[in-house]
Amino acid sequence: MGKFTRLDVSFASDRGLRSGRLHRPDSPHPVPCVVMCAGFGSTMDRLFPWAEAYAGAGLAALVFDYGSFGRSEGEPRQIVDLDRQRADIKAAVAWARAAEGIAAGRIVLWGNSLGGAHAVTVAADDPQIAAVVAQIPFNGFPRRVEGRSTAQTLRLLAAIVGDALRGRLGLSARYIPLVAAPGELAITNAAEAEDHINALSGGDTGWRNLVAPRGILQMMRYHPAPAAARLTVPLLVCLATDDAETPVELGRRLADRAPRGTLKLYPGTHFSFYTDARTRQAVAADQIAFLHDVLAPAEQEHRHPGHA
């Protein structure tokens, strides 16, 4: 693994400053930069292992907190707002393009879960993005969530609608856990919930297992597949074969719709990408190989302008 430096940064976005961290390889030349977009209710420290893998392979990686999460400004806290998150991503891309030591024409959008949907959607409207990586990406909710009864689903829907109404009335958010064991009220239920919470907790940017559920209403109308069809750059979609949260049959539609889409499948669940080091290493290796391949022509042109 090559050497790299870590630099805490901030940039302006909708309604305040966003905090981030740039991982930049030690290189005398401008390097490509992977702008990394976190998932629902997540913070940038959850992406540090991915950013470090990229930086060690010669690609800069910028991670950041969405507004109202982690170290970023924004009130009330722990609110998922899709429009504002996409605005944050655009602001992060603009910052990366202007940063010293970054090749402005070789910016990659990378997203995990909900962030994967955002990466595809934002890139579809930005012709200067060089490539997209969507990891266990959101592409609509499954008709039925495995392990969740009708009664549990109705209870969650009541919490979502109730919190949304409180937001419209200007009242404080009514938070619920982001992840919990099966049968408990939460955005996501998983048998490995405790392992997942332990893996996410303790970071230095303050991840909390609480979120305002009102954001789910926006996600019910959010389908990035049409945006994938408009992508003109290479797209890599990485999916888990036993993922109940972002199932293969939904995620693969992004690769199928994209004119230059590639799909890779890995054993495990949605949470394997967070908690299983071997899965993370295998996925990161494939992603890095993909980006080195698609960025190589631009790299050669950058180093040898004007040559055939």
Q: Where are the beta strands (DSSP E) in 1-50?
A: 4-13, 16-25, 31-37
Q: Hey, how many other C-beta atoms are within 10 angstroms of the C-beta on 197?
A: 17
- Per-residue confidence in pLDDT tens, the chain, 308 aa: 799 999 999 999 988 999 999 999 999 999 999 999 999 999 999 999 999 999 999 999 999 999 999 999 999 999 999 999 999 999 999 999 999 999 999 999 999 999 999 999 999 999 999 999 999 999 999 877 666 788 999 999 999 999 999 999 999 999 999 988 888 999 988 776 676 676 666 555 578 999 999 999 999 999 999 999 999 999 999 999 999 889 999 999 999 999 999 999 999 998 888 888 899 999 999 999 999 999 986 655 555 444 43
Predicted local distance difference test score (pLDDT) of residue 197 = 72
Q: Which two tokens stand for residue 149?
A: 């009864």
Predicted local distance difference test score (pLDDT) of residue 251 = 97
Pairing relationship of beta strands 16-25 and 4-13 according to DSSP bridges: antiparallel
Burial label for 174, CB within 10 Å (0-12, 13-18, 19+), is middle
Cα 254 to the center of its chain, rounded Å: 15
Of 28, 127, 40, 136, give the one whose Cα is nearest residue 79. 40
Provide the 8-state DSSP code for 212: B
Q: Are 79 and 212 in contact (CB under 8 A)?
A: yes
Distance CA 61, CA 25 (A): 9
Distance CA 120, CA 90 (A): 12
Q: Which two tokens stand for residue 230?
A: 């408009």
SS3 content of the chain, % helix, strand, coil (to 5): 40, 25, 40
What is the torsional sign of CA 223, 225, 229, 235? positive
Token pair 């919490």 is found at: 159
Pairing relationship of beta strands 102-112 and 60-64 according to DSSP bridges: unpaired
Q: Which two tokens stand for residue 18?
A: 């966003």
Distance CA 15, CA 88 (A): 10
Of 29, 32, 30, 38, give the one whose Cα is nearest residue 57. 32
Predicted local distance difference test score (pLDDT) of residue 120 = 98
Angle between helices 82-98 and 114-124 (to 10 degrees): 60
Token pair 């302008």 is found at: 305
Q: Which two tokens stand for residue 47?
A: 């992406």
Burial label for 176, CB within 10 Å (0-12, 13-18, 19+), is buried
Predicted local distance difference test score (pLDDT) of residue 181 = 85
Distance CA 184, CA 295 (A): 45
pTM for the full model?
Answer: 0.93
3-state secondary structure of 74: coil
Cα 122 to the center of its chain, rounded Å: 12
Residue 131 host element (H or E): strand 129-135
Predicted local distance difference test score (pLDDT) of residue 188 = 87
